[in-house]
Structure 1
Amino acid sequence: MEFLYEYGLFLAKTITFVLAFAGIVAIIAASAMKQAQKKGELEVSDISEQLKDIEEEVTHHLLSKEALKEKEKQDKKAEKLKAKEDKKAADEGTNKSEPKLFVIDFKGSIDAKEVSALREEITAILMVATAQDEVLVKLESSGGMAHCYGLAASQLERIKQANIPLTISVDKVAASGGYMMACVADKIVSAPFAIVGSIGVIAQIPNFNKVLKKNDVEFEQLTAGEFKRTLTMFGENTDKGREKFKEELEEMHDLFKAHIKEHRPELDVESVATGETWLGKKAIALNLVDSLMTSDDYICQANKEKKVIGIKYAVKKGLADKLSKAASMSIDNVMSKLWQHNRIFPS
């Protein structure tokens, strides 16, 4: 009887554990399905209001009670006067909307996957912006795949086509594909020590053919089309294949230079399309950028005349996405360090 009791207790515990585990799996599955169906959300932040709050907080600590009361009194008087002027303009039909500066952050990875959010942010801005407004893109990228960054540059061109002024700010780096994006702007501002340039194309591929031969491993590759595969990792590469591959790199480089000439005709492209990079102080002398300034300074100056609005399109990431992003960031960090030390980076 005692055996049956213990067995029943064990069975009850087992069933409880199985049901609990099944419940957890079901919750995770439901969450994953919900995540897959959920679209991103547009986050709009009032940067002007944030700057005003910072100013008020600092002022509150700096001024005496008497001076603070006087300031509050003057501020209220100014607000009443502005409200009165706005009402008069509205009654007369002469009121104009306050010009705005829309701010986008773009931190590009090797495959420029961030372009999916960029396109949503630009679409949102184009639905409300007018020619009196402006778009500022805070750009940071060491470059990556040419076709991916080509798409990102095309997204920025949508702003230009809508006759809305576009400014690119580079605080750290806009090289290779990053500069492919930056040159689309009406104006490029750069921090003094930001890295700019790398107008070149590079491709690297290891070849294990000798290793395979040494270990008596045969490798077969069948293609239809003479240049379906020019270079291979496991087969024996030929001079003809290398020549064709180099030809394709040169063609991509020519397209890159033509793209820059189209958007920055005052720039002597041939003199800078060497794959080199320059710091902001040198880049301005070469006409790669237009002025030396951080994005913070640009926003603070614009805030005196325009309402500054931050635009961000974000999708809540699941566990798999977070792990993938962490791995991608690790790879990007490694490649960025290689590029900074050796100037080796895919375009």
Structure 2
Amino acid sequence: MQVTDIKQKIIKNNGLTSASGFAVAPMLDWTDRHCRVFHRLLSNQAWLYSEMVTTGALIYGNNLPRFLGHNPIDAPVVLQLGGSDPKDLATCAKFGEEWGYSEINLNVGCPSDRVQNNLIGACLMAHPALVAEGVAAMKSAVSIPVTVKCRIGIDEQEDLQTLLDFVGSLVNAGVDGVIIHARKAWLQGLSPKENRDVPPLNYAWVHQVKRAFPALEVSINGGIKTPQAGLAHLTDYEGLPAVDGVMLGRAIYEQPFLLTEVDSLYYDKQKTPISRYEILTALYPYIEAHLQQGGRVSHITRHMMGLFHGCDGGRLWRRYLSENACKPEAGIEVVEQAYQLVANEIQRKADYEAAKAMNNEG
């Protein structure tokens, strides 16, 4: 069976959760509501995620609009929760459904010391029964899908069976899908940043999870640089896909234009090609509305730094926005001026190449 045939099978039979197809990973301080509106302009189909929000912030923070407010344009969008108390998770999952989220995801992968101290994130992989109880509680509270994002293990865990047992407990609790970062998390001795790079990747274990639970939607995360590269994980495994979905995080944030490939690669949706400038102009009304509500242009432009990655003038774009968008009086003209620098550089390069060609002909 060819990759294209498997992709068609996935699109036809699954796609019920963010564990199928393509998703942009949740990233703290990055995937906020402004980032998601920007990303949605690049892909109609990709699943988008909120930043992780803790159950304590939602229950005791007394500011649900701050944590849960989002633009309907970002759907399908997932609310990622951090927490471990089943009752609190159920309450917050219900909040998410009421605020229009498409899915609830439980973070069982973050290795930060800060979250470990509150029994949040990757440390929960040592407590599979508690995680399963939390999943079951959320499933009972909402009608939308409930998924889990985890690692392949933590610390000294060295056997595949521990991972399979963990996922099996989630399946028994009714989980709708799992997204697995194909690295272990070291809870002591490595920083969160080092945990994204230092532990070796083990994609085979994630594939084995899919083989062990063929009815479960399984997505793979970690070390995948482009949506095109992610297709390699949708290969045949005895008539089944190795995995159902692919999740990318920092690669997309740093090079957001990669998202324009997703609809055709993963969903066979032929989207009319869109230029980077057309994306900018499509975003202008959103930026203007944010400014009128008292927001700053930098709240949005900080997510757009990589839009011209690899293009002539890309460095000029980043520098101009970095130096000017943060100014209190900055408005949409800052974005227009930054783009003009790009356009001028593109024209300069074109003129140079044209002159060079004429000289060669002469």
TM range (shorter): under 0.3
Decide which structure has the larger Cα Rg and report it: 1
TM-score with structure 2 setting the length: 0.26
TM-score with structure 1 setting the length: 0.27
Question: Relative contact order: is structure 1 or structure 2 higher (C-alpha 8 Å, sep ≥ 6)?
Answer: 1
